[in-house]
């Protein structure tokens, strides 16, 4: 089906728009409340929730993904369930068991490290506490280390066990290339396997998401539906990455249950899914817009779920925030209308 621009008008979009504000259990990415616009269209629901600091040009890509979900619907699934990782925010080691409790059967945990104001010793202690409960651990530094800091930290974090990979240890592509090279030396000296490097921000916030791979900066690619402009765009990038021998890990952008539908649908449609996906972040909310999906045997059911009307009413954002989001949606819509691309590409 082709839905060229003009399928949904701005009035169509606004007619089915609900602005919600979800309280979080713990601070994540420096936020304690996650706001989103949910759009209802003929094919289901879509989520528009670019982080508040993003400019309109970047946010417009997220709107494209929301429209794809609500006006085109998901691509053809190849599996019914999607394995997920537990996500561990930059919390104290004593809190680790309660954070892991909602992830029964998860065999992989992703641990946030390099948080502002924290030390390497705190990262080492948090990772050790997670390893007591889940063997396979990956870390995510969100670009917070320099090259020297990354090499030191990843050396320390692999003294007591391997890491599946390190996500975005440094901010830039040349730094990732350098970390990968220096890690190979250090790990070789210690007789350890080099920690693979995963790119996240270097993919989702890049003009050219393949650059980091072509340059030799990443072994694994973290891919997210909204910043890439939709499920089909994610699948097409994953295909290009596979051509470079780079596997993908589908992850959430701290999505509500509606955004998670799109991440799960994209993961369910990928020909290969060698890694657990970062789509288990629903548990970071106190309440979500739908009955929470249950993790069973470390995986989630991939079929879409509609938001619950009672929850939508309870989670409605304050009027001034709703106005802010709808004004942003209008501006992003204008940017997409000018660019004039089709929704099914």
Ligand X SMILES: O=C(O)CCC(=O)c1ccccc1C(=O)O
Q: What is the CA radius of gyration of the chain?
A: 20
Q: List Cβ neighbours of 9 (8 Å cut-off, separation of 6 or more).
A: none
Q: List Cβ neighbours of 330 (8 Å cut-off, separation of 6 or more).
A: 10, 14
224 among known catalytic residues: yes
How far separated are the first and last CA of the chain, in Å rounded?
11
Q: Which is catalytic among the residues 224, 233, 311, 328?
A: 224
CB of 228 to Mg ion, least distance (A): 14
Does residue number 254 form part of the binding site for ligand X (CB under 6 A)? yes
Does residue number 110 form part of the binding site for ligand X (CB under 6 A)? yes
Distance CA 187, CA 195 (A): 8
140 known member of a binding site: yes
Residue 254: contacted member of Mg ion, ligand X, none (CB under 5 to 8 Å, by partner type): ligand X
3-state helix, strand, coil in the chain (%, to 5): 40, 20, 40
- CB 258 within 8 Å of CB 73: no
167 known member of a binding site: yes
The residue from 217, 259, 278, 282 that contacts ligand X (CB under 6 A) is: 278
Does residue number 143 form part of the binding site for ligand X (CB under 6 A)? no
Does residue number 281 form part of the binding site for ligand X (CB under 6 A)? yes
211 among known catalytic residues: no
Structure tokens, 292: 């929470």
Does residue number 255 form part of the binding site for Mg ion (CB under 5 A)? no
Does residue number 89 form part of the binding site for ligand X (CB under 6 A)? no
Instruction: From 233-241, 248-256, 297-305, 310-318, give the range in contact with ligand X by CB under 6 A.
Output: 248-256
Does residue number 200 form part of the binding site for Mg ion (CB under 5 A)? yes
CB of 12 to ligand X, least distance (A): 29
The backbone torsions φ and ψ at residue 335, rounded to the nearest 5 degrees and listed phi first, read: -65, -40
The residue from 61, 85, 136, 261 that contacts ligand X (CB under 6 A) is: 85
Distance CA 105, CA 138 (A): 17
Tell me the β-bridge partners of 217.
none
Question: Which is closer to Mg ion, CB of 140 or CB of 288?
Answer: 140
Subset of 139-198 contacting Mg ion (CB under 5 A): 140, 167
DSSP 161-208: S--S-EE--BSSHHHHHHHHHHHHHHHHHTT-PPPPEEESHHHHT-SS
200 known member of a binding site: yes
Q: How far is CA 303 from the centre of its chain?
A: 18
Subset of 6-65 contacting ligand X (CB under 6 A): 29
Task: Please list the active-site residues.
Answer: 112, 224
Specify binding-site residues: 140, 167, 200
Binding site for ligand X (CB under 6 A): 29, 85, 87, 110, 140, 142, 200, 251-254, 278, 281
Binding site for Mg ion (CB under 5 A): 140, 167, 200
């Amino acid at each position: 089906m082709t839905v060229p621009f003009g399928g949904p008008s701005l009035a169509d979009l606004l007619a089915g728009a609900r602005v919600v504000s979800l309280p979080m259990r713990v601070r994540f990415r420096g936020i304690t409340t996650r706001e989103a616009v949910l759009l209802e269209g003929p094919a289901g629901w879509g989520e528009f929730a670019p982080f508040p600091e993003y400019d309109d040009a970047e946010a417009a890509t997220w709107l494209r993904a929301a429209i794809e979900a609500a006006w085109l619907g998901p691509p053809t699934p190849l599996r019914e369930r999607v394995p997920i990782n537990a996500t561990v925010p930059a919390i104290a080691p004593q809190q680790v068991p309660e954070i892991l409790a909602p992830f029964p059967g998860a065999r992989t945990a992703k641990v946030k490290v390099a948080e502002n104001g924290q030390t390497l010793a705190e990262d080492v202690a948090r990772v050790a506490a997670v390893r007591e409960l889940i063997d396979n651990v990956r870390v995510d530094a969100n670009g917070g280390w320099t090259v020297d800091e990354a090499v030191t930290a990843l050396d320390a974090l692999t003294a007591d066990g391997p890491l599946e990979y390190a996500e975005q240890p440094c901010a830039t592509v040349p730094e990732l290339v350098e970390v990968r090279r220096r890690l190979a030396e250090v790990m070789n000296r210690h007789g350890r396997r080099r920690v693979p490097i995963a790119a996240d921000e270097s993919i989702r916030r890049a003009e050219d998401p393949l650059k980091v791979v072509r340059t030799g900066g990443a072994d694994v690619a973290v891919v997210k539906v909204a910043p890439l402009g939709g499920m089909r765009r994610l699948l097409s990038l994953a295909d290009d990455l596979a051509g470079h021998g780079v596997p993908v890990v589908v992850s959430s952008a701290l999505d509500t249950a509606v955004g998670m539908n799109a991440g799960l649908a994209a993961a369910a449609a990928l020909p290969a899914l060698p890694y657990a996906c970062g789509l288990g972040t629903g548990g970071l909310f106190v309440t979500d817009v739908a009955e929470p999906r249950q993790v069973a045997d470390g995986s989630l059911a991939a079929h879409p779920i509609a938001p619950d009307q009672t929850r939508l009413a309870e989670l409605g954002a304050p009027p001034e925030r709703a106005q802010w989001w709808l004004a942003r949606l209008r501006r992003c819509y204008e940017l997409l209308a000018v660019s004039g691309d089709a929704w099914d590409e």
